[in-house]
Structure 1
Amino acid sequence: MKSFAFLTLMLAGVATAQAQTPPTRDPAQIPAGTYAVDPNHTQVGWRVSHMGFTNYAGGFSDVSGTLQLTPKDPAAAKLTIKIPVASVTTTSGKLTDELKGDQWLDGGKYPEMTFVSTKVAPAGKDHAKVTGDLTLHGVTKPVTLDVTLIGAGVNPLDKKMTVGFEATGVVRRSEFGVKTYLPLIGDDLHLTIAGAFEKQD
């Protein structure tokens, strides 16, 4: 009997979640304020040419950061992202360990990558080019990301106002002092960031 009652509650919860208003892609409907990265649902992916044979991919996790949103004035938005180098991962345990080492990202000396926006240029209703200072391997250089609004609304599970973006960009690792195996391993590091942000009370 208890199992049946539990199942009923679960189904009711699912039904309530399904009844929620779907996410919007209209920036005008997004509340202004401070949003924090949801680390459980934010991913940073990368890929690089492996000797011209494949585009090898990996990722980072445990991302943190904040987003100051002003939908009525998109250009005034501010973004800060922090990525721990130790979170790098690939499908090869050996390679993952190598990437953390001093020949590559040198996580012991430079434990964190950061991106701090300096300019937001709207490029349509749900697109923008976000330029900022990327610090990687102890070097800081400007990088521009193409950002797309994926959706915003109240998360039906935790009831928090959530906004999600996808950002893409290309970084030349040699410009940040990461030159191991060039040119066998490509210089262009293609980044894709699936970012989820929750509104802070």
Structure 2
Amino acid sequence: MFKRLALAVVLASASAAAFAAPVTYKIDANHTSVVASWNHFGFSNPIANFGQVDGFITYDPDHVGTSKVEVTIPLAGLDTRVAKFDEHLRSADFFDAEKYPTITFKSTKVEAAGDKKLRVFGDLTVHGVTKPVVLDTTINKIGEQPMAKRAAAGFDATTTIKRSDFGVDKYAPNVSDTVTIRITTEAVVPKAGDAK
């Protein structure tokens, strides 16, 4: 009788694992960075960091297609380490942050792309314009975050866009139209009561 009970528990556990629900993680803004880089008249390759990132990542390693990402990036968090340049980028010459205060990304499809690799397709909205982009993504680690003592997930991702596609084309092509975006993010399972 005990053996049958033990077997039933094992089978039930295996069945539950096979049909485990996707896990949703809240992005940790303190350990997330979105960095844009471009070429400046052929002389240099400046960068801008976009902080204060907010959003959720849902990931299911057994059913990758059910995974999804939704992110908001406030332009208030833009930081080039040059205050006057930050102001210029937020001005109507570029992002027009007073009118369009956030950048958003919402995934439309996620595909496996090899060992610890994903392709995340989605809609990027910048300057009030929405265009499709693809994030080439690496899974850094899935496990317990020792400080938060909660399940966590970490990812790196890259993509390249044309800023003119979003109506942010001041000084192009001398200041390159092509912008490379690099993302690193850490996200943890939210505490009870955290807004989604």
Scaled to the shorter chain, the TM-score interval is: 0.7 to 0.9
- Which residue of the partner structure matches residue 88 of structure 1? 78
Give the aligned partner of residue 54 of structure 2: 64
Equivalent position of 1:73 in the other structure? 63
Gaps of 5+ in 1: 1-27
Q: 1:61 is matched by which residue type in structure 2?
A: G
What is aligned with 1:52?
Answer: 42
Q: Which amino acid aligns with 1:151?
A: K
Q: Which amino acid aligns with 1:85?
A: L
Offset at residue 79 of structure 1 (A): 0.5
Q: Equivalent of 2:116, from 110, 126, 151? A: 126
User: What do the CA deviations read for 1:61-109 (whole angstroms, capped 9, x no partner)?
Assistant: 0000111122210121011011001211113211111001111111100
Distance (whole Å) between structure 2 residues aligned to residue 146 and residue 171 of structure 1: 13
User: TM-score, normalized by length of structure 2?
Assistant: 0.84
Question: What one-letter code is carried by the residue in structure 1 that aligns with 2:98?
Answer: G
Give yes or no for contact 2:70–2:106 (8 Å, CA) kept in 1: yes
Q: Which whole-Å CA distance do the structure 2 matches of 1:157 and 1:121 have between them?
A: 30
8 Å CA contact 1:31, 1:71 repeated in 2: no
Q: CA deviation at 1:199?
A: 1.2
Which SS does the other structure have where 1:79 is aligned?
Answer: strand
CA RMSD of aligned residues (A): 1.6
In structure 1, the partner of 2:93 is 103
Q: In 2, distance between residues paired with 1:150 and 1:123? A: 14
Do the aligned residues in 2 keep the contact of 1:151 with 1:163 (CA within 8 Å)? yes
> Paired residue for 2:125?
135
The equivalences for 1:175-194 within 5 A come to 175-194=165-184
Q: CA deviation at 1:157?
A: 1.5
- The within-5 A match list for 1:160-179 is 160-179=150-169
Q: CA separation in 1, counterparts of 2:121 and 2:151?
A: 25
Number of aligned residue pairs: give it: 173
Q: Is the 8 A contact 1:151 1:165 kept in 2?
A: yes
**Which segment drifts farther, 65-74 or 163-172?**
65-74
Report the TM-score, using the length of structure 1 for normalisation. 0.82
Looking at structure 1, the residues matched to 169 and 147 of structure 2 have their Cα atoms a distance apart, in angstroms, of: 44
Q: What is the rounded CA distance, in whole Å, between the counterparts of 2:158 and 2:34 in structure 1? A: 10
Identity rate of aligned residues, in percent? 38
Partner Cα distance (2:81, 2:56) in 1: 30
The letter of the residue matching 1:107 is: A
Q: Secondary structure at the match of 1:52?
A: coil
1:117 to 93, 107, 110: 107
Answer yes or no: is the 8 Å Cα contact 2:164–2:177 preserved in 1: yes
CA deviation digits over 1:141-196, x for unaligned, max 9?
00011000011221111212111000100010000000111112110110011011
